[in-house]
Structure 1
Amino acid sequence: MNPISGDDDTKAPQEELNDFWEKLITKKPGKVTNIFPSSLYANLLPPQRQPSPEKGRNAAESYEAAADECRARIQFTDPEFDIETDLREDKNCLEGLMSWYDDPLPPQAPVSPGRLGEALDTLAKSKLLDAPTLLVNLNTAAGLLDVPQPSDSDGPGSVHRIDWIFEKPSFTVDSYSSSDVKQGANGDCWFIAAVATICSNPSLMDKICVAKDADCQECGVYGFVFYRDGEWIWTVVDDNLYVRDQDFDSYGDDYDPTGAKERKYKKNNQTGSDALYFASCVDQNETWLPLLEKAYAKAHGDYNAIIGGISGEAVEDLTGGVTTKIKTNRILSKERLWKELKQVNKEFLFSASSPGSYGDDSDARQGLALSHAYSVIKAVDPKDEQGNEQRLVLIR
């Protein structure tokens, strides 16, 4: 007998193995949900994240812990998702770490009109090209390249803070509304549809946007919480946003001694919600949607990661609820579904999506754009002039 461990040293190996399995096997049925002892987590996790020895935290406890942690972190900036530096260098916030794999050749730097003119002028002086022809080509090139305007396919043109983009920025203007939301250049209609669905209940939006007060707006840092993998997580982002157009005279070829041209350019191209590259609010000074989208992209890794998805899953991420997918051609009880639809934004949240294009349906099918997501706003059943009940669903 070992006096320290109490084990019997005289047991044969098979006896030791049999004893091990006898102790491990239990007569009470159940599931093994944790292979490590609870005491191990006490030294690895912060106090509010310690699991109970008997059971895990419920959703309410998880939410409060994430919200409190988010508010505590609001005083810090966001070096983890620095889109300003990223736009000039790796573009990891836009496209992810593997973007280089799909584009083995580095993009060529754009040529400004001024530099093109200098090159052509040098050729003219060298008499290697015919001068009249050269002048025509130069004028044509100058007309085409006067002020480079990047298209959506080229990516955002610049990055600026909210107080630079908006004249009178406000996180919300007259609260949240489904009519506020506008999808930008990213293919995240599924997320935008989920947000529009939840906007009908401002209290749910307030639970997502947990740090947005005047102090947050002054320091330019905002906090949000999302439901991921069975618990609530917090995300903090700064107020730098992608702008569609590049800065005035970004190549240094336009002489503007008074700054009048630059002010006019900024007013027309880089001011208000319409200037943003990604999602924006309809009101030209409302900022909550682009900040929420940025936080959601950060939680997933980058903006490219939220291209394409299922709106029901986005509703789960925003509310902590459980989504159910219903195919309209496989409804078992239409009456039951209609009763639930009439409770939209009361007991249920609904979103919808249309199938991808096929056959001759290239643009729309029964009035809906294909491969697109929608939010269900209202369901009513008024009577027409003949007294017949009509079932109408308002979607956006």
Structure 2
Amino acid sequence: MSLPPDAASEAEYFLEGEAGIARTVMAEVPVTVSLRSKKPKKQTPQQAIDEFWAKFTTKTPGKATTVIPSNQYAARAARRSYQAGAGTTTQASYDEAATVCKAKVAKIVKECRRVNQKYRDPHFDLELDLKWGDRDTLESLSNSKESPESQFHPKSVKRVQDIFDKPKFYIDGPTANDVRQGRDGDCWLLAGLCTLSNKPSLIERVCVARDEQVGVYGFVFHRDGEWISEIIDDKLFLTKPDFDDSVLERILWEDRERIDSEEQYRKAYQSGSGALYFAQCEHANETWLPLLEKAYAKAHGDYQAIEGGFTGEGIEDLTGGVTTELYSTDILDKEYFWKEELMKVNDEFLFGCSTGMWGATWGERKGIVELHAYSVMRAVEIDGQRLVLLKNPWGKYEWTGPWSDGSKEWTAEWLTKLNHRFGDDGNFWISYEDLLRKYQAFDRTRLFGPEWKVTSTWTTVSVPWTLDYHDTYFEFSLAKTSPVVLVLSQLDERYYRGLEGQYRFELNFRLHKKGQEDYVVRSIAPYRQTRSVNVELELEAGEYIVLMKINATRNLDILPIEDVIRKYARDRRDKLVSVGMSYDLAHSKGKIIETKEEKEAKKVAEKRVKDREREELKKDVMAARRDRHYIETKQHQKRKDKKAKEKAKKRAKLAAKEESAKANATPGTEDGAGAGAGATEAAEMLEKMKVPDTQTSTDKPEDEKDPQIVAPDTSAESPAESSGNAPKAKPETKEDDAPSSKPEESETKEDMSSQQKQGEVSEDERKATEKGAPIPPESPAPSPPPTEDDSDTESSISSISEITVRELDIRLRERAETPQRPPPPNPPAASEEEEDEFESNPWNAVATVGLRVYYRVASDEDKVKEIVTLRVVRPNPYALSKDDEGGDGKEGEVGEGEKSGEKKAMGLDVDDSAKDATLEGDKEQRKKSILSLVPP
């Protein structure tokens, strides 16, 4: 006999309280431990595959949303992000950030003038970082198992006034000719700045406030759909060390006698733009570019974080526009691309172009550098010639083909028409045909003026390993027909380098008009820029659905977030706090806020789970009670049989004793013979009174009807009493009673212990009933203590009573509070299976994504009205599945009817060959389904 594990507390009654019974149970059910190693269970191939996939994906998907402990700022940002669901003009977010930035600069200026000190940025102090060797402003957190070697080696730090003789922020305004790349690999950003310089006031919009005397500068950048502000001081890195700190440079410098050698050293090595370690302006005294680059590096954490990127992303960050990645081989109508897009450069669009899209080669092709970004400055069509002016942000290395500097195509007339002059300054002209031939990718950024509004929202989703459109999707309504730009984006990981995690995500989406099976348009997944995807089109008023497809890939060579935190928590606290704060604020956007419906469904689900736990516990407890009742009844029957045998023996002995006494009291041969005959008769009767041993041990087969259902007949007589041969015994004397009194007393105590336990349950039930708990079925009252006459009747056996709801809740609470016992260790001889790598480190990809809807408004009235309403639709995690209605399902699984609605009809792309299997009907019906001629 074995008990359910959850009924252990119920089993304590007879395993601990009834010592005699416990010994009997242990004797009947010996505990054996096999030392043989278990052979692996054989599986079919399908079972093995199913088991693998069950271990492959985590049962508890999730992602760390806060790195900094008790981050109250992230909580505030989450509340603000959740409340900001209304549409605003694209200018509103910029104006707010610019106003905040100007207020910060004004406060710092006032504070510095009060204490007569120049501003020193405590959060991005280049000098302290270099002198102490922390390198927090230079290097990002490393999430690789082996930390890479440092690439940056500046030698000194000075303020702007100590570097430039006559520093000026702008000299004749910011232009593309100002841009010179330094030792950071941010050509993509500088190419974007070159592009911005072609449209007046774009760069000036980024640099919003400054006080050059105090040394404080304020900038704004576009991040994850909104503008942010950044404040810096005027310290910059230099390529050469200070005179007193130098060794080799000073030895080489003092190879001859010089007048004021230290000052001449400063002017030669630490003066003007050429002395800067990172980006620099062409003019020796212009400062806007290195300071803007520094602010951009601080916004992302350090200079290393802005290495490598795409021109389009840089233009987005500087303008708030939306970039589309185009490929020269994908252009359908090259005539349209020229007239409607390239010819509108610096007006509606900004363009960048790049080489080496696949990164397969390195070097140059006729002066064009591979794996490099360029700016599109102008596009003109004159006298049948289509020419494009490009800019290399390096300020050198130009195209050497047709229309290059000094080529045969140039005449004095063409130099005048294009206002061009030769020189190795990075500016060169190239024909439209050569442009498409030599450059593989274009970054086209649409600019938004004050006539555009935007509505956005974010969410967090678990990305499955299988690639399909997600069950979570966006839904928006458009009140008026309008040009619309849809942007599906993920968080910009550049802002928290080192904490990106192991998963990389690629986005795609599909737009449907609600109620139609076929989609309106799909986004084209870019090859390189994974931060966002977008489409631009004219939409009619109506309801729309945006299905998203997220492709996740995993790199196990990258450390997970928790390991990076453990790696740097002690040694680089300040850096981890800075990057972690950026991480927390970014992920606060996608925090899931339960809706009213979800909260109500959660309560119902919790009640359903508790009811199920109660039912399972009730089954276990009642099974334990039935087992206990079976054991008690069986042991009671054994005791009855044993007592009957003992009483029969005692009566036989008394009878023999009486006969012997009579024979001894009457002398004579006849009396002696009679006495002998009486003794023989008593012996024969005693032999008949013997109860077979098998009756006490195997009185009933195990497959007989359970005694808790049919109780033993309490009126049955013992075998000795039913024989009719034994004489009635006289009342026993105290001496005769003594040998049997102790076992009876022990059994009485055991029976009383059983009754006490049954009485405790009844008391709990009584209290539960008094407090309004459900009244359990009526159970028999506890049996009175056994007496000498009825100690072996059924009254000494506890009855099977129903358990109350309150008792179930008490047991559930005790189970939750009681720590689980660890599983027993394997026997030494048993073979230990190796831990499954997928089970120990399962698939757990979670992405935070957002949808932005840009739309053009025709009037001031439309700027006030809500033209677009946007929301996230996700499966209710607490909804009942279809099977759960019958008691076999699980929470979080939607019913088949819910899955087979719109999502099933829109689950695959039309060019996915598997979609043919999802279509129903004959050939003509399937064709109509593809063309959306029939309702879904």
Deviations 1:147-168 (A, max 9, x none): xxxxxx5611111100000000
**Alpha-carbon separation, structure 2, partners of 1:245 and 1:252:** 11
Deviation at 1:198, TM superposition (A): 0.2
Structure 1 equivalent of residue 345 of structure 2? 344
Structure 2 equivalent of residue 374 of structure 1? 374
**Alpha-carbon separation, structure 2, partners of 1:65 and 1:370:** 40
Structure 1 equivalent of residue 323 of structure 2? 323
Decide whether the 8 Å contact of 1:225 with 1:232 is kept in 2. Answer: yes
Deviation at 1:381, TM superposition (A): 1.8
Decide whether the 8 Å contact of 1:175 with 1:202 is kept in 2. Answer: no
Structure 2 equivalent of residue 83 of structure 1? 126
Structure 2 equivalent of residue 67 of structure 1? 98
| 1:95 maps to 2:96 | no
**TM-aligned CA distance change 1:355 to 1:104, over 3 Å:** closer
**Alpha-carbon separation, structure 1, partners of 2:243 and 2:145:** 32
Q: Secondary structure at the match of 1:193?
A: helix
Deviations 1:103-148 (A, max 9, x none): 599x9xxxxxxxxxxxxxxxxxxxxxxxxxxxxxxxxxxxxxxxxx
Deviation at 1:344, TM superposition (A): 1.1
**TM-aligned CA distance change 1:259 to 1:160, over 3 Å:** farther
Q: CA RMSD in A?
A: 3.0
Q: Secondary structure at the match of 1:375?
A: strand
**TM-aligned CA distance change 1:298 to 1:154, over 3 Å:** closer
Structure 2 equivalent of residue 130 of structure 1? none
Partner AA of 1:199 in structure 2: S
Structure 1 equivalent of residue 235 of structure 2? 240
Deviation at 1:200, TM superposition (A): 1.2
**Alpha-carbon separation, structure 1, partners of 2:124 and 2:268:** 28
Deviation at 1:98, TM superposition (A): 3.2
**TM-aligned CA distance change 1:160 to 1:310, over 3 Å:** same
Structure 2 equivalent of residue 287 of structure 1? 287
**TM-aligned CA distance change 1:101 to 1:68, over 3 Å:** farther
**Alpha-carbon separation, structure 2, partners of 1:104 and 1:50:** 37
Deviation at 1:358, TM superposition (A): 6.6
Decide whether the 8 Å contact of 1:181 with 1:280 is kept in 2. Answer: yes
Decide whether the 8 Å contact of 2:138 with 2:152 is kept in 1. Answer: no
Deviations 1:38-72 (A, max 9, x none): xxx9x946xxx787676154432211111111111
Q: Which has the higher strand share?
A: 2
Deviation at 1:357, TM superposition (A): 8.0
Structure 2 equivalent of residue 222 of structure 1? 217
Q: Secondary structure at the match of 1:225?
A: strand
Query: Which of 168, 175, 178 is matched with 1:177 structurally?
Result: 175
Deviation at 1:342, TM superposition (A): 1.5
Deviation at 1:231, TM superposition (A): 0.4
Partner AA of 1:61 in structure 2: A
Deviation at 1:279, TM superposition (A): 0.4
Larger Rg, first or second structure (1 or 2): 2
Structure 1 stretch displaced more, 242-251 or 217-226: 242-251
| 1:249 maps to 2:244 | yes
**Alpha-carbon separation, structure 1, partners of 2:310 and 2:84:** 36
Decide whether the 8 Å contact of 1:182 with 1:279 is kept in 2. Answer: yes
**Alpha-carbon separation, structure 1, partners of 2:144 and 2:335:** 52
Q: Secondary structure at the match of 2:322?
A: coil
Partner AA of 2:141 in structure 1: L
Runs of 4+ in 1 over 4 A off after TM superposition: 49-54, 99-105, 251-259, 356-359
**Alpha-carbon separation, structure 2, partners of 1:104 and 1:341:** 41
**TM-aligned CA distance change 1:357 to 1:324, over 3 Å:** closer
Deviation at 1:365, TM superposition (A): 2.8
Partner AA of 2:184 in structure 1: N
Decide whether the 8 Å contact of 2:362 with 2:371 is kept in 1. Answer: no
Deviations 1:309-354 (A, max 9, x none): 0110110000001011111111111111111212211221111111
Q: Secondary structure at the match of 1:324?
A: strand
Deviation at 1:100, TM superposition (A): 10
Structure 2 equivalent of residue 231 of structure 1? 226
**Alpha-carbon separation, structure 2, partners of 1:163 and 1:92:** 24
Q: Secondary structure at the match of 2:296?
A: helix
Structure 2 equivalent of residue 193 of structure 1? 191
Partner AA of 2:206 in structure 1: I
**Alpha-carbon separation, structure 1, partners of 2:144 and 2:154:** 18
Aligned 1:30-45 pairs, distance under 5 A: 44=76
| Residue identity (%) | 47
Decide whether the 8 Å contact of 2:297 with 2:305 is kept in 1. Answer: yes
**Alpha-carbon separation, structure 1, partners of 2:317 and 2:152:** 30
Decide whether the 8 Å contact of 1:51 with 1:57 is kept in 2. Answer: no
Deviation at 1:203, TM superposition (A): 1.1
**Alpha-carbon separation, structure 1, partners of 2:163 and 2:197:** 24
**TM-aligned CA distance change 1:265 to 1:103, over 3 Å:** farther
Partner AA of 1:228 in structure 2: R
| 1:355 maps to 2:363 | no
Decide whether the 8 Å contact of 2:179 with 2:279 is kept in 1. Answer: yes
**TM-aligned CA distance change 1:56 to 1:50, over 3 Å:** farther
**Alpha-carbon separation, structure 1, partners of 2:142 and 2:359:** 31
| 1:157 maps to 2:155 | yes
Deviation at 1:295, TM superposition (A): 0.6
**TM-aligned CA distance change 1:54 to 1:100, over 3 Å:** closer
**TM-aligned CA distance change 1:169 to 1:331, over 3 Å:** same
Decide whether the 8 Å contact of 1:281 with 1:290 is kept in 2. Answer: yes
Deviation at 1:252, TM superposition (A): 7.5
Deviation at 1:229, TM superposition (A): 0.5
Give the number of equivalent residue pairs: 300
Decide whether the 8 Å contact of 2:167 with 2:285 is kept in 1. Answer: yes
**Alpha-carbon separation, structure 2, partners of 1:375 and 1:234:** 26
**Alpha-carbon separation, structure 1, partners of 2:291 and 2:181:** 13
Partner AA of 2:94 in structure 1: Y
**Alpha-carbon separation, structure 1, partners of 2:180 and 2:286:** 12
Decide whether the 8 Å contact of 2:185 with 2:306 is kept in 1. Answer: yes
Structure 1 equivalent of residue 742 of structure 2? none
**Alpha-carbon separation, structure 2, partners of 1:355 and 1:100:** 26
Aligned 1:291-306 pairs, distance under 5 A: 291-306=291-306
Partner AA of 1:84 in structure 2: E
Deviation at 1:356, TM superposition (A): 5.5
**TM-aligned CA distance change 1:272 to 1:100, over 3 Å:** farther
Q: Secondary structure at the match of 1:218?
A: coil
**TM-aligned CA distance change 1:395 to 1:267, over 3 Å:** same
Decide whether the 8 Å contact of 1:161 with 1:241 is kept in 2. Answer: yes
**TM-aligned CA distance change 1:205 to 1:189, over 3 Å:** same
For structure 2, list consecutive stretches of 5 or more residues without a partner in the other structure: 1-72, 109-118, 392-936
Partner AA of 1:355 in structure 2: G
Partner AA of 1:348 in structure 2: F
Structure 2 equivalent of residue 265 of structure 1? 265
**Alpha-carbon separation, structure 2, partners of 1:97 and 1:362:** 28
Q: Secondary structure at the match of 2:138?
A: helix
**TM-aligned CA distance change 1:104 to 1:183, over 3 Å:** closer
Decide whether the 8 Å contact of 1:176 with 1:200 is kept in 2. Answer: no
Deviation at 1:97, TM superposition (A): 3.4
**TM-aligned CA distance change 1:246 to 1:358, over 3 Å:** same
TM-score by length of 2: 0.30
Deviation at 1:363, TM superposition (A): 1.8
Structure 2 equivalent of residue 38 of structure 1? none
**Alpha-carbon separation, structure 2, partners of 1:304 and 1:200:** 28
**Alpha-carbon separation, structure 1, partners of 2:349 and 2:259:** 54
Decide whether the 8 Å contact of 1:197 with 1:349 is kept in 2. Answer: yes
